[in-house]
Structure 1
Amino acid sequence: MNYTIKLSRGGMQNMQNNHFFSSTVRVGPQQYICEEGVLESLPDHLRQLDSSNILIIHGKESWKKARNYLKNIYRSNFSIHEFLFSGECTETSIDQLKELIMESGVDTVIGVGGGKIMDAVKYAAYLADRRPFILIPTLASNCAPWTPVSVLYHADGSFDRLDVLPAQASLLLVEPRLIIDAPREYFIAGMADTLAKWYESEEILAQSVFKESPILTMARAAAKLCQTTILEKGQQALADLEQGRLSEEFRSVSEVIISISGMVGGLGDDLARTTIAHEIHDAVTIYPESHQFLHGHKVGYGILVQLAVENKWNEITKLQSFYRSLGIPTSLFDMGLSHLTESEIDFIAIQASKPELPVHHLPYPVNTAIIASAIHKLEAF
């Protein structure tokens, strides 16, 4: 993969001393449209891309609803292939999709579904000679449709790695009527994942050395918008989803989850993508009990661990109240992991503080002992 993060990980002290940093900016998809009826114009967008031979990669349950919004492309003069994607976004499944794209000779790939499909399509299209791809999310559960990032897992559901790609979507189309017709748990997970954008990046971007950068100032503003929108409008947005109301609150929260949260990392690069909260998520996936919870639920718990590291107990109290109103786990106990031994908690802490991880951009020490202590304190809080 021909991609290099210009800012070396673990280089925070060097930046503070030299007042120098460099980052790669990838703001978002080439085009983004979020409005009712947007999928009716998909044939026009395909023609603009000179597309004639199309592969649609989709999930199972979401496709039952999404297909009704795509009738226009079946009525148009396109050659359309369909492929059902199931399981994890793994290196093997991505390679299989790449081979499918190459062998079918399609000129455009369309991904329809949740975050794992988005990540798999992005990666496979890139590997298949950078085929143009269009993303149509069916859930507001994360920022996968927006970002150039693919999160890979092992076949057993445990975290493998995160890869940053050189290309983003040619087109991202969000149909609010499709998004609102999704299970509530995915929307809740999306809110928790989006909250992390602020809590993971705030301590880094608040430093004076970064305040001089207009781009990083925009990244910080986007992260703050994520936090305020979720906390102020999230509960009402969920109630509206449950009633099928396309309210202003639902639209705002949905767009923040899908687009603004992705913009944080797009502008801030390695300084604003993931720190402790996401590393805790990645580490706990090794335990099968955690698989009953979605990505965002586990990231939400990771936020609390990060705040415990920072001794921000008042903020933890505020978030715990919000979490409990939505059913987001606030402890290992909530995730069915209260049985973990001291060594197993140490394993989580070791995984979350590896030397190569971006947690070391934080302006305070992060190591195994500190994270393990924070986990224990949070359980007792």
Structure 2
Amino acid sequence: MTRTFVAPPRYLQGVGTLDDVGTHVSRLGGRALVVTDEVVADVVGESVTRSLSDAGVDYRVVTFGGECTRDEISRLTDVAQNGAVDVVVGVGGGKVVDVAKGVRSRIGGRLVTLPTIASTDAPTSGLSVVYTDDGSLAGGIVHDERPDLVLVDTAVVAAAPVRWFVSGIGDALATRFEARATRESGGWTFAGGSPSQAGVALAERCYDVLRAHGPAAVDAVRDGTVTDDVEETVEAIVLLSGLGFENGGLAAAHAVHDGIVSVGVTGPTHGEMVCFGLLTQLVLEGRSDEEIRDVARFASDIGLPVTLADIGVSPDRLGAVAEATCRDETSIDNQPGDPTPDAVTDALRTVDELGRSLE
């Protein structure tokens, strides 16, 4: 397959970048639809709208319905079209950002993503993960374009609950290993081809940054402070992981996430489930006990789940999780060795045993 590489044209990160959002949006268009939720609006909404007003941007704020569904994308698309919007601004977590991507893909124009938590790499990607009204996973929409601007205010993300930050590390931790698996299997990426050297290199760098700076960054975020470790880790979670997964590929770690979601588990975050999926992937690959234990210990020490109990999956549901993990709709096809449901079941049990041994 052809090697491809995709990326947002501009990424801005730092303390106080939120204050300049109006200036940046005004360079992209004059009529903005700001998509956010009530909680985020209470925290940063006034700062966003004031900045837009100061920059002379005509805007409308619309409240996200709570779930990224196709119906919600359609509803907000109607609002945008009625307002002749030329810039969509998604302010909030991953689901808000994914809905904003969906709206922009339907109306055209420009897109700005402004994450208020560093919990996933959604802000940089061209993928919207969609759900049903009851929260069940319903697949994904791969858009032709990436956000025109990703703007991350590290003071905002550091002020959010630390669990979201830790979850972002869990999501990003898998990027290196999934890119490696995709390359070894000759698999595909969301960029539309085989993994590029650049994508794999960014995935590797993402992992190195997380291991070097992640623990100290978690401590700083727990205290509500922004340090160099926080800046480095935020960039790894949002930018390096985003570019790494789109251009390097997803494999078993995200497939296991999909399998867990499919059986109705709703308590863990996306990154927490991906982290457990990563450990499962390493077992499937036959990695050494030393390597798997090293990753598991790192994850456990910063508060990520390493046992079935941690992610709310009972032993009697492992078969269902494994079957769903191996469906055609997941990224399991990028995993070398064509894992079977039985192999995934055994790997899930192995991870649980290893995780309990760390306690």
Q: If the length of structure 1 is used for normalisation, what is the TM-score?
A: 0.85
Confirm whether residue 142 of structure 1 aligns to residue 120 of structure 2. Answer: yes
C-alpha distance in 1 between matches for 2:197 and 2:211: 21
Matches within 5 A, 1:245-256: 245-256=225-236
C-alpha distance in 2 between matches for 1:81 and 1:138: 19
Confirm whether residue 281 of structure 1 aligns to residue 257 of structure 2. Answer: yes
The number of residues matched between the two structures is: 348
Confirm whether residue 301 of structure 1 aligns to residue 292 of structure 2. Answer: no
C-alpha distance in 2 between matches for 1:193 and 1:136: 18
Superposition deviation, residue 357 in structure 1: 4.1
Matches within 5 A, 1:183-262: 183-205=161-183, 216-262=196-242
Confirm whether residue 321 of structure 1 aligns to residue 302 of structure 2. Answer: no
Superposition deviation, residue 209 in structure 1: 11
SS in 1 for 2:122: coil
C-alpha distance in 2 between matches for 1:280 and 1:215: 21
Superposed CA offset, 1:274-323 (max 9, x none) = 211111111111344x3121100011111111111122232221122222
- Residue 332 to residue 209, structure 1, CA distance change in 2 (3 Å): closer
Confirm whether residue 347 of structure 1 aligns to residue 347 of structure 2. Answer: no
- Residue 97 to residue 368, structure 1, CA distance change in 2 (3 Å): same
Structure 2 regions of 5+ residues with no counterpart? 355-359
AA at the equivalent of 2:54: R
SS in 2 for 1:180: helix
Superposed CA offset, 1:144-169 (max 9, x none) = 11000111112222211122110111
Q: What is the RMSD of the two structures over their aligned residues, measured on CA atoms?
A: 2.3
Identify which of 38, 41, 44 aligns with 1:60: 38
AA at the equivalent of 1:138: T
AA at the equivalent of 2:221: L
Asked if the contact 1:157/1:285 (under 8 Å) is kept, the reply is no
Q: Could you say which residue in structure 2 is the equivalent of 1:38?
A: 17
Superposed CA offset, 1:204-236 (max 9, x none) = 3357999xx997222221111111211221110
SS in 2 for 1:291: coil
Superposition deviation, residue 35 in structure 1: 2.4
Asked if the contact 2:2/2:194 (under 8 Å) is kept, the reply is no
Runs of 4+ in 1 over 4 A off after TM superposition: 206-210
Q: Could you say which residue in structure 2 is the equivalent of 1:131?
A: 109
Q: Could you say which residue in structure 2 is the equivalent of 1:7?
A: none
SS in 1 for 2:61: strand
Superposition deviation, residue 118 in structure 1: 0.6
Identify which of 283, 286, 289 aligns with 1:311: 286
C-alpha distance in 2 between matches for 1:24 and 1:93: 31
C-alpha distance in 1 between matches for 2:194 and 2:259: 34
C-alpha distance in 1 between matches for 2:339 and 2:195: 26
Q: If the length of structure 2 is used for normalisation, what is the TM-score?
A: 0.90
C-alpha distance in 1 between matches for 2:176 and 2:328: 23
Q: Could you say which residue in structure 2 is the equivalent of 1:117?
A: 96
- Residue 65 to residue 357, structure 1, CA distance change in 2 (3 Å): closer
Q: Could you say which residue in structure 2 is the equivalent of 1:379?
A: 352
Q: Could you say which residue in structure 2 is the equivalent of 1:29?
A: 8
Identify which of 343, 346, 366 aligns with 2:339: 366
